[in-house]
A and B are shown apart, each in its own frame.
Chain A
Amino acid sequence: LAKTTQPISMDSYEGQEVNITCSHNNIATNDYITWYQQFPSQGPRFIIQGYKTKVTNEVASLFIPADRKSSTLSLPRVSLSDTAVYYCLVAPYSSASKIIFGSGTRLSIRP
């Protein structure tokens, strides 16, 4: 499984756009990029997944350049409730695939 590297922590303010970048230099051809969010005292929650270019849903956008060696999770207009740990994962797109969590990015949003 490809190793991922992301910042340990980030700070931002309410209403700002937050971009969290993840490096995955050894990503394989059949790997997908997935992001999870974890609030304190809860299990992680799936946010978004993509293979290339851009994916957008009601929560976030995911930008993946052509070489796929990195990806950026974009959270528009964050609020205090977006304070959480965000994990970037890389794994083959398979129903039998286990996922391995990296260290994650602890995002703190201030008023």
Chain B
Amino acid sequence: SAVISQKPSRDICQRGTSLTIQCQVDSQVTMMFWYRQQPGQSLTLIATANQGSEATYESGFVIDKFPISRPNLTFSTLTVSNMSPEDSSIYLCSVDADQSSYNEQFFGPGTRLTVL
């Protein structure tokens, strides 16, 4: 298994500002994923981040709005840029389990973002 921590756990931000969310894993992983979960809704995949390459974004998400860094095999950041109230959500990162169990991901506790 993998233990994932996220910082901050929650934040309240003003519109027009940016927030960077950190995701730290206790072991080296190849792929990291970023999701958004709006209140009462399912999770929506934002992007997939591999170390050493550009993140791959899902339809409806762009790098200018959600820049992602993946400097090493245990860490990633997601920035929510030029925020609006519509960006209020829980943002979660996840990682693949080890090679013995495909399609099993471990999730962080999430970052609850409120934009005023």
Contact = CB atoms under 8 A, between A and B. Distances in A.
The interface size bin for chain B is 20 to 34
Which of A41, A87, A95, A97 counts the most chain B CB atoms within 10 A?
A95
Interface string B79-116: 00000000000001010110101111111111000000
B30 interface: yes
B53 interface: no
Q: By DSSP majority rule, is chain A's interface helix, strand, loop, or mixed?
A: loop
A87 B94 CA distance: 16
A80 interface: no
Interface stretch (B40-48, B60-68, B69-77): B40-48
A104 to B, nearest CB: 5
Given A101-B42, A101-B43, A104-B42, A43 B107 contact: yes
B43 A94 contact: no
B45 A46 contact: no
Contacts of A42: 107, 109-110
Interface in A1-50: 32, 34, 41-46, 49
Contacts of B35: 101
A104 B30 CA distance: 27
Interface residues of A, number: 24
Nearest to B50: A96
Interface in B1-50: 4, 30-31, 33, 35, 42-45, 48
Interface of B: 4, 30-31, 33, 35, 42-45, 48, 92, 94, 96-97, 99, 101-110
Interface of A: 32, 34, 41-46, 49, 87, 89, 91, 93-104
27 contacts: A34-B104, A41-B109, A41-B110, A43-B4, A43-B92, A43-B94, A43-B109, A44-B107, A45-B107, A46-B101, A46-B104, A46-B105, A46-B106, A49-B104, A87-B42, A87-B43, A89-B103, A91-B103, A94-B103, A95-B30, A95-B99, A98-B33, A99-B103, A101-B42, A101-B43, A103-B42, A104-B42
